[in-house]
Structure 1
Amino acid sequence: MSVSSSSSLNTTLDPAPVSSSNSTDYLFYLTCLDSFASHVIYTTYTFINFIFLFPFYILILYMGFQQWRHQHSVPARTATSHSDIFTYHMVLLEIFGVFGSVSYTFGNYINSEHLVILGVYVFNIIFPGQTLFHCLTCAERYLAVVHPIIYMHLRETRGVRIRNISIVCVWLLCFGWVGLNALYLPNSPTIIFLSLMGVCLIVILFCCISVLHVLTHPGPGEVGRNKELVAQSKQRAFHMIRAIAVVLLLRFVGVGVCFGLEKLVTLGEEDLCWLLDTGITLTIPSSLVLPLLFLHRKGKLACCRRNTESE
């Protein structure tokens, strides 16, 4: 879904199908809504987001609120980690996506142009933020493993200030992305977004390789019990960064398909719709990886609870 889809909505919302000669004037996925299969897929996607993922996101925010209350009632408690803070903001971002999807789908059912436009714009808020919060999480884990002394200093007031500034910048970019899409109408800033994702993937892969190198080459001071604890910490960081790298690679492919469909003039409409549906499916894991990793760290996943306790 992209803001460029809001162009010529009066025509695309008309019950009559959009002719292939005019399809280049609109984002192609709106044309796909004329097919029964695409209509079912979008509705199912919205249903899963609202019925299953939305309560999941609320649970994580509730856990964050409980942790915040405990920290203020018992000042001696350990401060919230940077990774957890990034996860909370990621979840808030995903909630925007849920409501944008609901607004878009409901507007399409009742043929409301205003709801469709609202859904498109709200949904677009999440695009750069998802990638950047993943990137910030990997950078935080990279510092913790590769540069532990610098990381320990950044856990204090200076580090919190840098983290908060980074989060504010990400949110500003998210809302600025909506305005950028509006400026590019009836096209979409495909190259800009794919370039951003490409840079973030390079950063994440660098973090993953660096952590793997440190994991396979322990420091001279890591002996005995200390060596085992440090190795476990490095392994958790490596698994986290690796999981994020995999889902972001899937997201890069999926979003690249979504944004590039209108450029693929050599394929028929049914083939393009199939590619679009596949692209949307590939973006789902990136919405779940940080929340699932968060629950794993907190020992809330039954399948991982024993491993978490042993760590």
Structure 2
Amino acid sequence: MDANTSSSQNSSQTPSSCFSSPPGSSIFAVFTVTNLLLLLPLSTFILGFGFLRWRKQRPAAMNPLDVFTFHMVVMELFGMSSSVTCFTGAYKNHQNMIKVGCNMFAITSCVKMFFHVLTCMERYMAVVHPLTYRNLSKSGGVMIRNICVGFVWFLLAGLIALRLQMGNNFNMILFFCNLVLSLIVSSFCNISVVRVLNRAGPGEEGANAGKTDTLKQKALVTITAIMAVLLVRFSGNLICLSLGSSHVLSSYDTCVVLTSGVWFCLPSSYVLPLLFLHRAEKLPCLKYNKN
């Protein structure tokens, strides 16, 4: 009887419900504090540095990767405020705060992956279809980029509203569907860039060949880094979900395993900001040629 009851309780456990339990709330509290100490200063610096750069150049002349990074950082700040709300609700045992904060954090964590996808697609177009990319940069490229960014924010608002009408499994289904889609797109972009990396394309011969090869290599590094952190996120959360649904763990251990999955989200939160600092030659751990 006790074994059946334990299995029944484990099968009903979800990451959202575990956030209000003692082990889950403790793990999520450490995660939230870590984000506030590391990601908040990083995000603030990037937005401040980006604003100063924006004042010195026309918005249309900005690097598309920087635009995606800035929006990603703003969405990260929104996600951090949601995690703080969730943690505060767990601390005060306020179920409505837990529900609102944790669901907003979960959906934001899903939707922000679209900025990873947009970054990969932008690098894919620049390398695999350079002529089309140059023509779009001179005409409707900025408008297309703005439409894509606006769609991501609209999607975030729509999914948050939709979550109120859906069951407890909505966040997990959305998370893995979006993560698989992001992995497929980034893998496709990665393979496509690798195929053309050592092959000269239209308008790339002669004096421009060396510069073009460098741009291709940077594109490959960007896409590979994004694909790697998404793979870590997918593998880690899949393992946590599998262990948490195995019915062999106690209710306490199940919540520990399920809640620990949030830590696999950290690499994907830092990849675009760190790539931005690398492009701006602001990473303190690297030495850059100032000549």
The corresponding residue for 2:14 is 27
List per-residue Cα deviations over 1:51-87 (Å, max 9, x = no partner).
2211211111112211221125xxxx97012111111
Determine if contact 2:233/2:268 at 8 Å carries over to the other structure: yes
Superposition pairs of residues 86-125 of structure 1, within 5 angstroms: 86-125=68-107
Superposition pairs of residues 32-181 of structure 1, within 5 angstroms: 33-36=20-23, 38-71=24-57, 79-181=61-163
Query: What do you get for the CA RMSD once the two structures are aligned?
Result: 2.7
Aligned mates of 2:241, 2:156 — CA distance in 1:
17
| 60-69 vs 253-262, greater mean Cα deviation | 253-262
How many residues align? The count is 287
Report the alpha carbon displacement of residue 193 of structure 1 after superposing the two structures with TM: 3.6
Determine if contact 1:90/1:130 at 8 Å carries over to the other structure: yes
The reply on whether 1:218 has 2:204 as its aligned counterpart is no
Determine if contact 1:107/1:113 at 8 Å carries over to the other structure: yes
Question: Secondary structure of the residue that 2:169 maps to in structure 1?
Answer: coil
Aligned mates of 2:39, 2:14 — CA distance in 1:
27
Determine if contact 2:103/2:160 at 8 Å carries over to the other structure: yes
Q: TM-score, normalised by structure 1?
A: 0.82
User: Which is bigger in relative contact order (C-alpha 8 A, separation at least 6)?
Assistant: 2
Which blocks of at least 5 consecutive residues in structure 2 are unaligned? none
Determine if contact 1:25/1:186 at 8 Å carries over to the other structure: no
Determine if contact 2:116/2:226 at 8 Å carries over to the other structure: yes
Amino acid at match of 1:30: S
Aligned mates of 2:247, 2:129 — CA distance in 1:
49
Aligned mates of 1:287, 1:173 — CA distance in 2:
19
| 296-305 vs 219-228, greater mean Cα deviation | 219-228
Which blocks of at least 5 consecutive residues in structure 1 are unaligned? 1-17
Report the alpha carbon displacement of residue 22 of structure 1 after superposing the two structures with TM: 4.4
Determine if contact 1:108/1:116 at 8 Å carries over to the other structure: yes
The corresponding residue for 1:244 is 226
The corresponding residue for 2:251 is 269
Determine if contact 1:296/1:305 at 8 Å carries over to the other structure: no
Amino acid at match of 2:140: R
Q: Which one of 214, 231, 237 corresponds to residue 232 of structure 1?
A: 214
Aligned mates of 1:118, 1:62 — CA distance in 2:
29
